[in-house]
A and B are shown apart, each in its own frame.
Chain A
Amino acid sequence: MQHRVGRLVLPAVLIIASLLVAPALTTGAPSTSWDAKACGRVGGTLIFGQAQDTVSLDPNDIEDGFSVNNTSNMFDTLVRFRADSTQVEPSLATSWNVSADGLVWTFKLRQGVKFHDGTPFNAEAVVFTYRRQIDNKNPYFPGSAPYASFTYQNVDSVEALDASTVQFTLTAPFAPFLTNMAMFSTAVVSPTAVRKYARDFFKHPVGTGAFKFVEWVLKDHITMEANKDYWAGRPCVDRLIIRGIPDNTVRLLEMEKGSIHMMDQVNPPDYDRIKKNSSLVLFTGPGLNTGYIALNTKKEPFNDVRVRRAVNMSVNKAALIRAFYAGVGRPATNPIPPTIWSYNDAVKPYGYDPEGAKKLLAEAGYPNGITTELWWPNRARPYLTQPQKIAEAIQAQLAKGGIRAKLVTYEWGTYLAKLKDGEQPMAIIGWIGDNGDPDNFLYVLLDKDNAVKGKANNYAFYTSEAVHTLLINGQRVNDQAKRGAYYRQAQEIIHSDAPWVPLVHAARVGAHRKEVQNFTLHPLQIWWLHRVWISK
């Protein structure tokens, strides 16, 4: 698996890099990686059961993965992620170029595309979609637009140069900009439909995507039908139904009975049950996430790097993965998962060595070890399948290294608020990648800009100047080779300073019935289903 992904990523990296290096270089490759997957059979109804029903169907107004799985099948973005990686390729934009100073991005739009309501897709729609998100005084502001400040960071203005050309001007060069334009929240909406339904657009979604909206039965299911005029060719199935079934066991029973075709969030103890069932398939692949322990570098004794390293040496990651991830997952060494380009292979993990940890603690002035708290979130996350059990196991492991930690937990909302205030000595937390860019992990989670009490995302309150310089440089240049060098160097410094104990990169897991063909779960764990077909 690793090998296969690696082979695919390298050429893709080179292509994208070549697009980015040369200023004002135009590309015009219309074929997409998704089209390589042909439909073996057309027709039928595909039913996907996920752990929650959608919250809203307005792609500009959502943040949860369950809603994203719905909108991503109905809407398109300017560029899109390739079928098997987080590299981007043309979608509603057929080509683009960036000015020499990295400030002006110009997109050529696909001609002849129509929204599901017949409205022609054009530059005006792109500008409309942007404006309704960034200005909460806009009459069509969707309600909260929670991702807008992330996806459009550094965007100063967006202009329609003509019907099929749109131009984004940035305030500062920002290399991850292009990948952000592939993110779900930038999906282009039909201005006609938004004007018609106004605040109720979230239940009358109209996009250009592979499926058209039919019906939403609240907290139950959403029905979509094939968009037969889809610009990239009609989807293989006639109908797509996405059901919300909250209990993981019940969802599996439904799939075994055949009342749903596919499901997300399988309980790790059920992996074997699925593998043994000849009518089911378990899909696993590397995940784009990192579970870690943040060590509060502004609090004693974790302001001493020797103590932080000692914690790293006390945790046996392989044992955690065997016990709580059914062996599917990868021990983490760096903050970013190995599926992201610029991952630094040269960094060697601290290795499990409780005796060594004790010695280091003694060196740091704690010959009898330390007494502290380990915080854990009382909510299962993709990177933290069984929070309490994992926390208890880590507590036991730490004790062997001379670190006596009391377990502390809070309800999720309270937990995050307290972490942002920096009340924690050590806290288990994690991150799920949004767009596959290293900046999306390293800058967001470990830069000093994000270590401000009360609103921090850098829960270790790690404020290395050297790392900050590298990360800002990584944002300013578009040359991916140069960016990669900055990020690899940053990972080395971070490893040495040890503000985290990187724990695990949990696998992405999904399951489906054997008759479901052509399905691979995308690294971003978004269920794009337009190329999936049913064999009987």
Chain B
Amino acid sequence: MSQYLFRRLLELVPVFFGVLLVVFVISRLTPGDPAVVMLGEKATPEAVAQLREVLGLNDPLPVQFFRYLGRAVQGDFGRSIQSNERVIVDLATRFPATIELTFGAMLIASSVGILTGVVAAVRQNSWFDGISMFVALFGFSMPIFWLGIMLILLFAWLLGWFPISGRLDLTVDLARITNFYILDAIAGRNWAALGSALRHLVLPAVTLSTVPLAIIARMTRSSLLEVLRQDYVRTARAKGLAERRVVLAHALRNAAIPVITVIGLNVGSLLGGAILTETIFAWPGIGRMVVDAIFARDYPIVQGAVLIIALVFVIVNLLVDLSYAFLDPRIRYG
């Protein structure tokens, strides 16, 4: 097991080198000069020439790449072309916002999704099954942008149950240490901030949860239906076990592997940022950061952000793989 883990972690090194190289090359091949983009209509020849020199864009690409790589291995990912902020600081402030939102969304998606899927499978072809699977399909196809605005209009603007946008009330003071507002609030026993942070989280998390929720519900249902048809389930029922115990203890555990895979994939992609949800709710996450940076050709930010997203994706996949062994004793790593 530990050997396996070590090997998997070792694989990270070539993965990161590959990610860095690909992102570096692609971003440099994209037409459009950061100096021109930054200055927009105002890009006079003198200004562009000066900016290019300052940004070190006149050096040959291999020189730029190895300079970047040399610094990156020492943990220095450079500074943003636009803001002058260190990339690492930018990431440290914005990635927690994305993680908080992702976990909020996945909590809703997994709990509601699995529950719906189980009930739909157990009561296959019932009215609940029909309606819930239709709603799941609907949730999957609904434009996030439209859903977000509708939720805001109803629950924030009309009913006033939740704030419209942002992460925290402007009147609430919070010592931002980790930038996980919920953790910061709990650590500081700042209950007002905790309440405000949670209230701000609800609508964006619900919006973001719809697509994974629909996938999880449908996946749970189909996977469970398949398991329920197997011989050992019939045996369990034959020896007189209660249906609840058959489903929850015996069938669900075996049906969980594809569901966990789906959850893992979704966590990975949501951690890459949810640009639409972040835009609607003015949520300062990493998705908007990457997209803004790509439009601005802010190379250091794009490189740093993609690297961290890749890192998270790889780690989540590793955790998913490890969970297989836990769920199914037949799977062994060694």
- Centre residue among B39, B46, B83, B85 by max chain A CB count within 10 A: B83
**Contact assessment for A218 and B282 in the assembled complex, using a CB-CB cutoff below 8 Å:** no
**Contact assessment for A452 and B45 in the assembled complex, using a CB-CB cutoff below 8 Å:** yes
**Contact assessment for B36 and A416 in the assembled complex, using a CB-CB cutoff below 8 Å:** yes
Q: Is A244 an interface residue (CB 8 A)?
A: yes
Distance in angstroms between the alpha carbons of A417 and B85 in the assembled complex: 26
**Contact assessment for B32 and A250 in the assembled complex, using a CB-CB cutoff below 8 Å:** no
Min CB distance, A256 to chain B, in Å? 7
Pick the residue among A146, A244, A410 that contacts B39 (CB under 8 A).
A146
Pick the residue among A241, A246, A416, A457 that contacts B170 (CB under 8 A).
A241
Distance in angstroms between the alpha carbons of A63 and B34 in the assembled complex: 13
Within 8 A of B (CB), among A32-85: 47, 53, 55-56, 58, 61, 63
Q: Is A149 an interface residue (CB 8 A)?
A: yes
Pick the residue among B44, B51, B282, B297 that contacts A244 (CB under 8 A).
B282
**Contact assessment for A220 and B284 in the assembled complex, using a CB-CB cutoff below 8 Å:** yes
Min CB distance, B294 to chain A, in Å? 9
A-B contact count (CB 8 A): 160
Interface string of A193-228 (1 = CB under 8 A from B): 000000100110000000000000111110100000
**Contact assessment for B152 and A153 in the assembled complex, using a CB-CB cutoff below 8 Å:** no
Chain B residue numbers with a CB within 8 Å of A221 are 166, 170
Min CB distance, A273 to chain B, in Å? 13
Interface stretch (choices B14-22, B106-114, B156-164): B156-164
Within 8 A of B (CB), among A360-381: none
**Contact assessment for B51 and A250 in the assembled complex, using a CB-CB cutoff below 8 Å:** no
Q: Is A411 an interface residue (CB 8 A)?
A: yes
Chain A residue numbers with a CB within 8 Å of B49 are 455
Chain A residue numbers with a CB within 8 Å of B288 are 219, 246
- Contact A417/B31 with A147-B47, A218-B94, A246-B279 known, Cβ cut-off 8 Å: yes
- Centre residue among A220, A249, A257 by max chain B CB count within 10 A: A220
**Contact assessment for A219 and B55 in the assembled complex, using a CB-CB cutoff below 8 Å:** no
**Contact assessment for B279 and A247 in the assembled complex, using a CB-CB cutoff below 8 Å:** yes
Interface string of B26-42 (1 = CB under 8 A from A): 00001111001111111
**Contact assessment for A416 and B54 in the assembled complex, using a CB-CB cutoff below 8 Å:** no
**Contact assessment for A144 and B55 in the assembled complex, using a CB-CB cutoff below 8 Å:** yes
Chain B residue numbers with a CB within 8 Å of A253 are 152-153, 156-157, 164
- Centre residue among B55, B84, B280 by max chain A CB count within 10 A: B84
Distance in angstroms between the alpha carbons of A249 and B157 in the assembled complex: 12
Chain A residue numbers with a CB within 8 Å of B176 are 217
**Contact assessment for A56 and B82 in the assembled complex, using a CB-CB cutoff below 8 Å:** yes
**Contact assessment for B41 and A432 in the assembled complex, using a CB-CB cutoff below 8 Å:** yes
**Contact assessment for A136 and B284 in the assembled complex, using a CB-CB cutoff below 8 Å:** no
Pick the residue among B43, B165, B280 that contacts A416 (CB under 8 A).
B43
- Contact A245/B38 with A219-B94, A257-B164 known, Cβ cut-off 8 Å: no
Distance in angstroms between the alpha carbons of A244 and B165 in the assembled complex: 10
- Contact A136/B50 with A218-B94, A219-B288, A253-B157 known, Cβ cut-off 8 Å: yes
Interface string of B147-175 (1 = CB under 8 A from A): 00100110011001001111110100000
Chain A residue numbers with a CB within 8 Å of B280 are 247, 250
Chain A residue numbers with a CB within 8 Å of B32 are 411-414, 416-417
Residue of B nearest to A52 (CB): B292
Chain A residue numbers with a CB within 8 Å of B36 are 413, 416-417, 420
Chain B residue numbers with a CB within 8 Å of A142 are 84
Residue of A nearest to B296 (CB): A413
Distance in angstroms between the alpha carbons of A53 and B41 in the assembled complex: 21
- Centre residue among B48, B50, B149, B170 by max chain A CB count within 10 A: B170
Pick the residue among A220, A246, A256 that contacts B167 (CB under 8 A).
A220
**Contact assessment for B152 and A455 in the assembled complex, using a CB-CB cutoff below 8 Å:** no
Q: Is B295 an interface residue (CB 8 A)?
A: yes
Q: Is A434 an interface residue (CB 8 A)?
A: yes
Chain A residue numbers with a CB within 8 Å of B144 are none
Min CB distance, A293 to chain B, in Å? 15
**Contact assessment for B38 and A144 in the assembled complex, using a CB-CB cutoff below 8 Å:** yes
Pick the residue among A61, A202, A250, A455 that contacts B164 (CB under 8 A).
A250
Q: Is B250 an interface residue (CB 8 A)?
A: no
**Contact assessment for A434 and B42 in the assembled complex, using a CB-CB cutoff below 8 Å:** yes
Pick the residue among B38, B53, B84, B94 that contacts A63 (CB under 8 A).
B38
**Contact assessment for A420 and B170 in the assembled complex, using a CB-CB cutoff below 8 Å:** no
Q: Is B93 an interface residue (CB 8 A)?
A: yes
Within 8 A of B (CB), among A235-287: 241, 243-247, 249-250, 253-254, 256-257, 259
Query: What are 11 residue pairs bridging A and B, where the CB atoms are less than 8 Å apart in the complex?
Result: A56-B84, A143-B79, A144-B84, A199-B79, A218-B284, A250-B281, A254-B164, A259-B164, A429-B41, A434-B42, A455-B45
Chain A residues with a Cβ under 8 A of chain B: 47, 53, 55-56, 58, 61, 63, 136, 141-150, 153, 199, 202-203, 217-221, 223, 241, 243-247, 249-250, 253-254, 256-257, 259, 410-414, 416-418, 420, 429-432, 434, 444, 450, 452, 455, 457
Chain B residues with a Cβ under 8 A of chain A: 30-33, 36-51, 53-55, 79, 81-85, 90, 93-94, 149, 152-153, 156-157, 160, 163-168, 170, 176, 279-282, 284, 288-289, 295-297
Task: Give me 5 other A-B pairs in contact (C-beta within 8 A), A221-B166, A249-B149 excluded.
Answer: A218-B284, A223-B170, A250-B164, A414-B31, A416-B40
